[in-house]
Chain A
Amino acid sequence: MAKKIRVLLAKPGLDGHDRGIKVVAAAFRDAGMEVIYTGLRQTPPMIVEAAIQEDVDAIGISILSGAHMTLFPAILEEMKKRGAGDILLFGGGIIPEDDKIALEKMGVARIFTPGAPTEEAIDFLQKAVARKSSDEKIM
């Protein structure tokens, strides 16, 4: 059976605006992916724990409140701590250009800003997941 792309989508922080992330979830689903949407107010440990349990290829988060410079690094940190550094982290929201550059330097695979078509995110994810490889032996 062909491997499906599995992606976890979550909203960290206190911001409840979920229109964008639901549109992205639907678009990913319609591009043939399995999307695990874990909803609002997810803390970095909750997000990374869910990503590990669901064995996802990527984590996508959406932040519109301005707390991105706190939350992205916290999630990266948690991923490192839990040995989940191989999972791609990407995100979207109202994120100024300077911050976007800083975050991508920090290890966030990609930041999408308002107006980006969902197709762009789909294309990014398909290519990025295809590049990933694992040499782990199962048994």
Chain B
Amino acid sequence: MFEKSFLEKLRNKLSEWNKAAEQFRSQKSLPRFFTISGEEIDELYTPDKVKDADREEYYWDHIGLPGEYPYTRGVHHTMYRTRLWTMRQFAGMGTPRQTNERFKYIIKEGGTGLSTAFDLPTLMGYDSDHPRSLGEVGKCGVAVDTLADMEIIFDGIDLAKVSTSMTINSPASVLMAMYLGVAEKQGVPFDKLRGTLQNDILKEYIAQKEFIYPPRPSVRLITDMMAYCTKHVPQWNTISISGYHIREAGATAVQELAFTLADGFEYIEAAIAGGQDVDEFAPRLSFFFNAHSDFFEEIAKYRAARRIYAKRMKNKYKAKDPRSWMLRFHTQTAGCSLTAQQPENNIVRVTSQALAAVLGGTQSLHTNSMDETLALPSEKAVRIALRTQQIIAYETGVANTVDPLAGSYFIEAMTDKMEVEAEKYFTEIERRGGVINCIEEGFFQRELAKSAYRFQQEIEKEERVIVGVNKYVMEDEKLEIPVLKIDQRVEKEQYAFVKKIRQERDNKAVHENLEKLRAVARSKENTFEVILDCVRVYATLGEICDVLREEWGEHVESASAMQVS
């Protein structure tokens, strides 16, 4: 990229410059210059800081052109000039009826993408009337017990015309089966269905901890579904491999990058081991990253992710279809960066985070609402969050050209460093026997807890400033934004409804299908089709998950995962 002679000249010049700069160094505007992940940052980046900058191959191997291998500059040739990123806001609450009303409103306003949040009992595979569900029904999303609930959620909505995203992991097969059940009732052929499932169980063990079964059978559920959908629901994105939650749980940018990609490679290897062809399923894989507050570090993270992925898919997994090499991703701004103090400041945080995601080439984006550390977001807060994206898209001009930051010495050096550091983690994970072994022995969990604790200590020691929290604090701050509360009646309604369904359905058919599922769980057959059969006869989510719990056991974290070193 740069001539050797030029680099030599530059080095000489730099040593002079260094002498001149010295006089200013006794004074410091901040105690430390480091990223939010704790990486020390140099005072100045020049071509000299970019390793191998004197080789032409560096440009083609590391940077290249957008829409081309290794995709550092983006997965599309023309990026946002052709199509802006999708502004996808995640929502869902209360009863299926309330969610249905919300969806119809979105469609009326011209929206075509529906995004569903489920409540904790649904995420954990419990029915609404299970003792463990007490106090949680309808709180963080919509409650779903049977196909009947799903029928209500999508009542009057043509599934052939919308794209639906469902944030569900451990019981994802069951919810997907319910969605297909609704399609059958509507007479919509499966190959017309479009949407995305989160369906990433590995990050649950690592970070969000909404797991049911042990890792191995859980991964089987996923690869079974991938196999079914590749054949029957070809437009569906069966998995969204998520770093978002890993970051929220305390990871650094490098840890988010490395652990997420490692999870992705684990699924890919499992699917290949199960006899699937990489080029058949890989084009439907997608990723989900966090956008945290350290602007440049985040941009470097996205660029490194695309490059690492492309290289591995091509070289290690021998994918031939370029679509298999492209890492496409959704981004959400960092919930953990929001503060309860002076919550309006969060609008500014979200803006800069969203800008980083866009400059990093995201395919879709969710911007958080300012009040999320206080309660579920209010309507006004949600609107401002969406407006933030629109202002970035239409007013700032950042979408005018593709990957405008490429070639920045700092960005390229940081992108390279991210890749090197991530590779170190891949080696370490391999040394420890792979992702699942690392989960079982608590390696990821300890790494995350360590980073989270270090971050908290930096704040408390005031090495790191968080505006409104440890600096510029307002005494006697009064909350001035409205806070949304969920009606306690949701629980009772849902409770009564699931009881009614259990009485009215054909219980003999339910029992037979559940026993069929048990037999399949013990065998090596594909689990998805029989789950679909169970759902069709209105077996509840809890009943289906219970059969699998009985057969496969429940996952409990290891004692070594509890430590914070």
Contact = CB atoms under 8 A, between A and B. Distances in A.
Q: Tell me, yes or no, whether A and B come into direct contact in the complex with CB atoms closer than 8 A.
A: yes
B479 interface: yes
A26 interface: yes
Nearest to A22: B449
Secondary structure at chain A's binding surface: helix, strand, loop or mixed?
loop
Interface in A1-47: 13-19, 22-23, 25-27, 29, 37, 39-41, 43
B480 to A, nearest CB: 12
Interface string B441-469: 00000001100110010011000000001
Given A13-B135, A19-B248, A118-B456, A65 B120 contact: yes
B143 interface: no
Contacts of B485: 96
Contact of B139 (A39, A40, A43, A67): A67
Given A14-B133, A94-B373, A65 B139 contact: yes
B486 interface: yes
Contacts of B10: none
B529 interface: no
B135 A70 contact: yes
A107 interface: no
A69 interface: yes
A91 B530 CA distance: 43
A71 interface: yes
Contacts of A18: 209, 249
A97 interface: yes
Contact of B136 (A29, A67, A119): A67
A117 B460 contact: yes
Given A23-B456, A26-B449, A118-B460, A14 B136 contact: yes
Interface in B86-124: 120-121, 123-124
Nearest to B122: A14
Interface stretch (B27-35, B154-162, B232-240, B335-343): B335-343
A45 to B, nearest CB: 11
A108 to B, nearest CB: 15
Interface residues of A, number: 34
A65 B140 contact: yes
A85 interface: no
Contact of B124 (A14, A22, A114, A117): A14
B134 interface: yes
Interface residues of B, number: 45
Contacts of B124: 14
A96 B375 contact: yes
B276 interface: no
Contact of B120 (A15, A22, A97): A15
A20 B211 CA distance: 19
A94 B374 contact: yes
A65 B375 CA distance: 9
Contacts of B374: 94, 96
A17 B453 contact: no
Interface in B225-252: 248-250
A41 B485 CA distance: 23
Contacts of B341: 115
Interface in B362-421: 373-376
Contacts of B479: 97
Contacts of B140: 65-66
B564 interface: yes
A23 B453 contact: yes
Contacts of B452: 19, 22-23
A70 B120 CA distance: 14
B557 A13 contact: no
B424 interface: no
A36 to B, nearest CB: 10
Interface in A78-110: 94, 96-97
30 contacts: A13-B120, A13-B135, A14-B123, A14-B126, A14-B210, A15-B120, A15-B136, A17-B208, A17-B209, A19-B336, A19-B448, A19-B449, A22-B562, A23-B452, A25-B564, A27-B456, A29-B564, A39-B557, A40-B209, A41-B132, A43-B132, A65-B139, A66-B486, A70-B134, A96-B374, A96-B485, A97-B479, A115-B339, A115-B469, A118-B460
Given A16-B208, A39-B556, 5 more contacts: A14-B210, A22-B453, A96-B483, A97-B479, A115-B341
Interface of B: 120-121, 123-124, 126, 132-136, 139-140, 204, 208-211, 248-250, 336, 339-341, 373-376, 448-449, 452-453, 456, 459-460, 469-470, 479, 483, 485-486, 556-557, 562, 564
The 10 closest A-B pairs by CB, nearest first: A70-B135, A16-B209, A67-B135, A14-B120, A26-B564, A66-B139, A114-B340, A22-B449, A26-B453, A114-B373
